[in-house]
Amino acid sequence: MALVLAIQHWRHYLLGKRFVVMTDHRSLTSLLKQRIATPDQQHWMRKLMGYEFEIR
C-alpha cells in the first residue's frame, strides 16, 4: 500500500505530529471506518498505528 510506504518513508517528520492525507481514492477515504476483516488489512493497519492522521 502506497500510503503506508509514504508514511514510513517520512516517519521522522510525521511521528508526534497530526497530519492530513489528501486523496481522491474512495477506498482510502473509508479506510479507518471499515471493518478490518483480513490478515493483510490488519498488517497494514498495525503499521499505521502510532501516527495521528486524518484521511480526506
Q: Rounded mean pLDDT of 28-55? A: 86
Give the Cβ contact number of residue 31 at 10 Å: 18
Reduced to 3 states (helix: H, G, I; strand: E, B; else coil), residue 44 is helix
Q: Would the pLDDT of 29 be above 80?
A: no
Q: Rounded mean pLDDT of 32-54? A: 87
Q: What percent of the chain has pLDDT over 70?
A: 100
Domain limits, the chain: 2-55
Q: Would the pLDDT of 8 be above 80?
A: yes
Q: Rounded mean pLDDT of 26-32? A: 77
Q: Would the pLDDT of 18 be above 80?
A: yes
- Give the C-alpha separation, 22 to 40, whole Å: 23
pTM: 0.73
